[in-house]
C-alpha cells in the first residue's frame, strides 16, 4: 500500500503539462500584506514547484505573470528560462509587469541564448518588460509561429532572423524599436502589429500573405513604413499622433496598401491648410474606410477640412465611408464663412453608406457632407450626426500612456 501511495504521490510530476504561475495560482495574500511579501511568496512557491519537476520531460505551456520589475531576481529568471529551454516548452509567456505602460531601465535580461539549435519545440513566445541581448551564434527559433513583445528593449531584430521564417502572428508593442526590416519574405505571416513603439525610424516588412496590419505611432515625425507585396491584405489600421501635426498626406501616401479592402485611420489635420487636396495615392480595392480626424483649429479659417473631399477619388470602389470628426469650437469664432468646393472630377458609383459624426459648428463640415451627397450616385444611406463619436475609454493604461507622452 505504501509503495502504491508513493507512486501516486509522485505521478503528478510527470503528468503535468501546463505550468501557470500567476498571483492567483501562487499567492495567498494576507490582509494588509505588503508587495514585497507577496513577491517573496510568489518566488518561493514557483521555485518549490519547479524543484520537484523533472526538467527533461517535455511541457506544453509555461506562463509566468507577476510584477517583478525593478527587483533583483535575475538569477531566478535565468533558472526559469533554463527550465523552459530544457523542458522543450511549446508555449512560453513571461510577463514581469502585467498591464502597465512605460519604459523600464531595469528590465530583466531575458537569456535567449539558452534556446540552442533553433529551439524547434517553441511554437509561441510572449515577453513583457524584458531586455534582449543575444550572444553571437544565436540562430533564432526555427518553428516559432507566434511572437508577442511588449515593453521589450534590446535587439528585437534578432527575432526576425531567417531561421524565424515560420512566424504567423507578430505583435510588437511599447518597445524601443529603431527599425524593423526583414532579410527575406515572411511568407507565413498573417498578422502584424507595431503599436506605440519608441524611436521608430523605419518599418519595412516583406509579407506576401499578410492579412491584418496594425500600426500605431508615437513619433511626431512621419515614420517610413512599407508592407511589400501584400496581395492577401484584408484590413489595415493606422493610428498617428493627433496632438501636434498634420499628417493627412502621409497617412494616405503609398505604403504598399493599395489592395486593402478595409482601412481605419486616426490622424489630425490642420484646418488652416487651404484648398482641396490632390489625391496622395489610389486605393483600388478599398471598400470600407473608417477615418477619425482631430481638427487642429485655432481660428475661424477651416479650409483644411475640405481636403477630405478627395476621399471618394482616392477610393473609386468605396462602398462604406465613416468619418468621425473631433474638433473644439473656440469662443468668439466666426462660423459663417462659406467655402466653395469645385465639382468632383467624376461621379462616384459605388458609395452606398455614408456616416459622419461630430458635424457641428464649422460650415465647411456641412459643405463637405453636401459634396459627398452630390458625388455619390449610388448613395442609399446617409447619417449626419452632430455628436462626436467617443474614440476611446479613459482607463488606467490610457492615463499612464499620456504620462509617457508628456514626460
Kindly state whether residue 228 falls inside one of the protein's structural domains: no
Q: State the pTM of this model.
A: 0.86
CA-wise closest residue to 341 among 366, 313, 309, 312: 309
DSSP 327-388: ----TT---------PPPSS-BSS--EEEEES--S-HHHHHHHHHHHHHBTT--EEEEESSP
Number of domains in the chain: 1
Kindly state whether residue 194 falls inside one of the protein's structural domains: no
Kindly state whether residue 197 falls inside one of the protein's structural domains: no
Kindly state whether residue 172 falls inside one of the protein's structural domains: no
Kindly state whether residue 182 falls inside one of the protein's structural domains: no
Kindly state whether residue 57 falls inside one of the protein's structural domains: yes
Q: What is the model's pLDDT at position 328?
A: 66
CA-wise closest residue to 282 among 247, 240, 321, 253: 253
- At 57-94, the pLDDT tens digits run 999 999 999 988 777 889 999 999 999 999 999 999 99
Kindly state whether residue 226 falls inside one of the protein's structural domains: no
- Positions of the chain with pLDDT under 50: 1, 331-334, 392-407
Kindly state whether residue 100 falls inside one of the protein's structural domains: yes
Alpha helices in 192-268 (DSSP H): 248-251
Task: Supply the range of the domain harboring residue 31.
Answer: 11-165+236-406
Cα separation, 370 vs 386, whole angstroms: 15
* E runs forming strands in 143-287: 146-154, 169-173, 179-181, 191-197, 202-206, 212-217, 224-228, 235-239, 262-270
Q: What is the model's pLDDT at position 33?
A: 60
Amino acid at each position: 500500500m505504501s509503495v502504491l501511495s508513493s507512486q501516486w504521490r509522485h505521478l503528478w510530476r510527470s503528468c503535468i503539462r501546463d505550468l501557470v504561475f500567476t498571483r492567483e495560482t501562487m499567492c495567498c495574500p494576507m490582509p494588509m500584506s505588503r508587495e514585497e511579501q507577496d513577491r517573496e511568496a510568489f518566488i518561493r512557491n514557483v521555485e518549490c514547484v519547479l524543484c520537484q519537476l523533472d526538467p527533461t520531460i517535455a511541457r506544453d505551456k509555461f506562463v509566468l505573470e507577476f510584477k517583478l520589475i525593478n527587483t533583483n531576481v535575475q538569477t531566478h529568471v535565468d533558472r526559469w528560462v533554463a527550465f523552459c529551454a530544457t523542458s522543450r516548452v511549446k508555449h512560453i509567456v513571461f510577463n514581469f509587469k502585467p498591464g502597465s505602460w512605460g519604459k523600464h531601465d531595469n528590465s530583466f535580461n531575458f537569456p535567449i541564448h539558452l534556446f540552442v539549435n533553433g529551439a524547434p519545440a517553441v511554437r509561441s513566445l510572449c515577453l513583457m518588460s524584458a531586455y534582449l541581448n543575444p550572444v553571437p551564434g544565436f540562430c533564432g527559433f526555427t518553428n516559432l509561429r507566434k511572437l508577442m513583445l511588449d515593453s521589450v528593449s534590446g535587439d528585437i531584430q534578432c527575432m526576425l532572423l531567417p531561421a524565424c521564417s515560420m512566424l504567423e502572428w507578430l505583435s510588437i508593442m511599447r518597445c524601443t524599436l529603431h527599425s524593423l526590416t526583414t532579410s527575406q519574405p515572411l511568407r507565413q505571416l498573417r498578422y502584424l502589429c507595431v503599436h506605440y513603439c519608441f524611436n521608430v525610424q523605419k518599418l519595412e516588412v516583406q509579407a506576401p500573405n499578410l492579412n491584418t496590419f496594425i500600426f500605431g505611432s508615437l513619433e511626431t515625425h512621419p515614420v517610413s513604413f512599407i508592407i511589400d507585396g501584400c496581395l492577401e491584405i484584408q484590413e489595415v489600421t493606422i493610428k498617428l499622433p493627433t496632438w501636434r501635426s498634420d499628417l493627412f498626406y502621409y497617412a494616405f501616401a503609398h505604403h504598399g496598401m493599395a489592395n486593402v479592402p478595409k482601412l481605419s485611420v486616426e490622424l489630425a489635420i490642420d484646418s488652416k491648410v487651404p484648398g482641396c487636396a490632390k489625391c496622395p495615392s489610389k486605393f483600388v480595392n478599398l471598400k470600407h474606410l473608417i477615418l477619425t480626424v482631430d481638427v487642429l483649429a485655432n481660428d475661424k479659417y477651416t479650409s483644411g477640412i475640405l481636403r477630405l473631399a478627395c476621399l471618394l477619388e482616392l477610393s473609386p470602389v468605396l462602398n462604406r465611408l465613416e468619418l468621425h470628426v473631433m474638433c473644439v469650437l473656440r469662443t468668439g469664432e466666426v462660423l459663417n464663412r462659406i467655402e466653395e468646393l469645385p465639382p468632383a472630377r467624376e461621379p462616384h458609383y459605388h458609395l452606398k453608406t455614408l456616416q459622419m459624426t461630430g458635424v457641428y459648428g464649422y460650415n465647411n463640415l456641412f459643405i463637405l457632407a453636401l459634396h459627398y451627397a452630390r458625388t455619390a450616385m449610388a448613395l442609399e444611406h446617409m447619417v449626419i450626426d452632430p455628436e462626436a463619436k467617443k474614440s476611446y475609454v479613459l482607463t488606467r493604461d490610457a492615463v499612464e500612456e499620456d504620462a509617457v507622452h508628456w514626460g
